[in-house]
Amino acid sequence: MIRFEAVEKWFGQHQVLAGVTGEVKRGEVVTLLGSSGSGKSTLIRTVTRLEDIQGGQVLFEGVDVAGRGVDINRLRQRVGFVFQAFNLFPHLTVLGNITLGLKRLRKMPKAAARARAMTELDRVGLADKADALPSRLSGGQRQRAAIARALAMDPDVMLFDEPTSALDPEMVGEVLRVMKSLAQNGMTMVVVTHEIGFAREVADTVWFLDKGQIVESGPPAEVLDDPSHARLRSFLSRRR
């Protein structure tokens, strides 16, 4: 579904992605581990061209996302993106956040958009907060609302960039539970996270990114329990 082929990314003189190659299959859950600055965010942002790349290719359903014929706004509708800082729109209610794309991009009538949004809010356990402004929600609720916003567009794949890193510890669980049930329902997901437990339990594949390269990848049991790479060993030991 998503293929990275020798992807290179530079910020000025600083190389952040140094030839990343890997594939995310339909229905697969990939978690992306790596220490701070290793390029995890940058890598998933290349999928929807929030970052442009200088070398290699990113393919979505076999099509180069930077290709001439690609309508990037269309592609972005098919790829849900969940940010560390939620990025809900503060001037809209939770419901308004979710229906905006449905009404303006999918051209759904108001009632249909509302019904669709309520379905998603139900799924993340926030139906009773539909009319609240984001400022009135807890961190965990905000992130679940942001996930519902992405899901409402009916994406083929969901990208998560450290969805629980900005949360108080007691709220991490509620967000991870939502993500886990998504995975169980067959959603294709790429998850940047520091939650090793989540990786172990939910991921099909773990990628360990170091200095802009995937230095280790495989099923969680292999990669996490028997790391061959010294940097992964020390990364994991810091998170026991």
Distance CA 49, CA 46 (A): 5
Find the binder of other proteins among 12, 62, 69, 90 (CB under 8 A). 90
Cα 42 to Cα 61: distance, rounded to the nearest angstrom:
20
* Binding partner at 50 among Mg ion, ligand ATP, other proteins, none, C-beta below 5 to 8 Å by kind: other proteins
- Residues constituting the chain: 240
Query: Which helix (H) or strand (E) covers residue 59, if one does?
Result: strand 55-60
Residues 34-63 interacting with ligand ATP (rule: CB under 6 A):
34, 36-42
Residue 215's nearest CA partner among 41, 58, 21, 59 is 21
Q: Where are the alpha helices (DSSP H) in the chain?
A: 40-45, 72-77, 94-104, 110-123, 139-152, 169-184, 196-202, 220-225, 230-237
Selection from other proteins, Mg ion, ligand ATP, none that 93 binds (CB < 5 to 8 A by kind) is none
Q: Which of 127, 133, 166, 236 is close enough to bind other proteins by CB under 8 A?
A: 133
CB of 3 to other proteins, least distance (A): 20
Signed CA dihedral, 149, 154, 160, 161: sign only: negative
The residue count for binding other proteins (CB under 8 A) is 25
Q: How many residues bind ligand ATP (CB under 6 A)?
A: 10
Per-residue x/- marks for other proteins, 31-70, CB under 8 A? -----------------x-x--------------------
CB of 161 to ligand ATP, least distance (A): 7
Q: Which of 2, 4, 7, 16 binds ligand ATP (CB under 6 A)?
A: 16
Residue 184 CB, nearest distance to ligand ATP (Å)? 26
Rg over alpha carbons for the chain, rounded to the nearest Å, is 18
- HSE toward the beta carbon, residue 222, CA cutoff 13 A: 9
Q: Which is nearer to other proteins, 38 or 93 (CB)?
A: 93
Using CA atoms, how far apart are residues 116 and 126, in angstroms rounded to an integer?
A: 13
CB atoms < 10 A from the CB of 84, how many?
16
Nearer to ligand ATP, 60 or 208 (CB): 208
Residues in contact with other proteins by the rule CB under 8 A: 48, 50, 73-74, 76-77, 79, 81, 83, 85, 87-91, 100-101, 104-105, 133, 135-136, 149-150, 153
Residues in contact with ligand ATP by the rule CB under 6 A: 11, 16, 34, 36-42
